[in-house]
Amino acid sequence: MTTDNQATHAHFPGHLLDGKVAVITGVGAAETIGAVTAAVFVQEGAQVVCADISGAQKDTAVALGPAAAPFQVDITREEEVEAMFAHAVEVFGRVDILVNVAGNPGGRRGDEITVEEYQSLTSVHLLGTALTNKHAVRAMTPNGGGAIVNFSSAASFNTDKLISMAYAAAKSGVNSLTKSYAVHYGPQNIRVNAVAPGFTMSKKNHRVPAEALAMLEGKAALGRAGQPEEQAHVAAFLASDRASFVSGVVVPVDGGWTSRLA
C-alpha cells in the first residue's frame, strides 16, 4: 500500500483473462500504452496478437514469449485489418477481445491545420476504429460474442488550448463509434467500451519539457501523470468477464482531470 499520492507500479498477475485470445493494436515499442497493455493481458492469462504499423511489435511480442504473436498492420487499410483477425484465428484459434490502442497525435492549431494532418488524424482514429471494430465483430460473432475496448482520450469530452482540435474531434468520434457498436452488436453478445486516458507517461511523453510536464500533471485531481499500467488494467477489466454487464461506456482514466470545471 502506498502512503502518498504516487502511482503504485503494482503488478497484479492473475487469471482475469485466462483462455481469452486478444488482438491489440498500437503495440509499439516498450512503454507505449499498447505494449504495456499486451504485457498485462499476457500476465492475466490471455494469448495476444501484438499489432502495430511501426515494426516495433516484433521485439515487444518476442519479449512476451509464446503467448504473444506479432502482426504488422495499418489500421486504416481494410485488407490489413481483415488479415490481422485472420492471423489471430490461424495462430490462436479464435478472437475474444479487441483492444484498439493505436493512435497518432495532432500538433497544429486550428488556424494552421493542414488537410493532410486533419485526414491523418481522422483516418487513424475514426476509420481505424470503425475498421477494427467491424472485423472484430465478424471474427467474434461465430464464437458467441466477445469484448471490444477502444482507446479514446480525456480530450474527447472537453478540450484545452494545448490539445489539437482535430485530435479532440476524432476522439469524440471514437466515443460515438463505441456506443454505436455497443448498441448494434449487443444482441450478438459483443460488449464495446472505451478507455479515455488523461495525461499518461507513455514513451512519447518522456520527452515533454519540464514546465509543460508540471502543468499537465497539475491538471489531474491526483496531481500526477498516469502510468501506462493504469490504463492497461482498466482495459483488462473492461475486456474481462467481470465486466459482463458493462457496455457502451467511455471510462475516464485521468486521475480526475475531467471532473474539473477548467
By CB under 6 A, tell whether 26 contacts ligand NAD. Answer: yes
Whole-number minimum distance, CB 234 to ligand NAD, in Å?
12
Q: Is 250 in the site for ligand NAD (CB under 6 A)?
A: no
Among 70, 106, 146, 197, binds ligand NAD (CB under 6 A): 197
- Looking only at the bridges linking them, the beta strands covering 190-197 and 146-151 are parallel
Cell 495532432 belongs to which residue?
A: 106
Residue 245 beta carbon to ligand NAD: minimum distance, rounded to whole angstroms:
25
Q: Which is nearer to ligand NAD, 134 or 141 (CB)?
A: 134
Side-chain-side CA neighbours of residue 31 (13 Å): 11
Asked if 167 is an active-site residue, the reply is yes
205 near ligand NAD, judged by CB under 6 A: yes
Q: How many helices (H) and strands (E) does the chain have?
A: 8, 7
The residue count for binding ligand NAD (CB under 6 A) is: 28
Task: Decide if residue 70 touches ligand NAD (CB under 6 A).
Answer: no
CB of 24 closer than 8 Å to CB of 37: yes
Strand 146-151 with 97-100, pairing: parallel
Cβ atoms < 10 Å from Cβ of 223: 11
Q: How far is the CB of 73 from ligand NAD (least distance, A)?
A: 5
169 interacts with ligand NAD by CB under 6 A: no
Among 16, 17, 34, 146, binds ligand NAD (CB under 6 A): 34
All residues at 6 or more sequence positions from 32 whose CB lies less than 8 Å from its CB, including other chains = 26, 56, 101, 202, 203, 204, 228
248 vs 172, 182, 184, 189, CA distance in Å?
A: 14, 5, 10, 12
Q: 83 vs 143, which CB is nearer to ligand NAD?
A: 83
124 belongs to the binding site for ligand NAD (CB under 6 A): yes
Beta-carbon neighbour count of residue 67 at 10 Å?
A: 16
What is the closest distance, in whole angstroms, from the C-beta atom of residue 262 to ligand NAD in the complex?
19
By CB under 6 A, name the one of 58, 179, 204, 224 that touches ligand NAD.
204
Please say whether the beta carbons of 145 and 136 come within 8 A.
Answer: no
Single residue of 23, 99, 102, 238 touching ligand NAD by CB under 6 A: 102
Active centre residues (catalytic) = 167
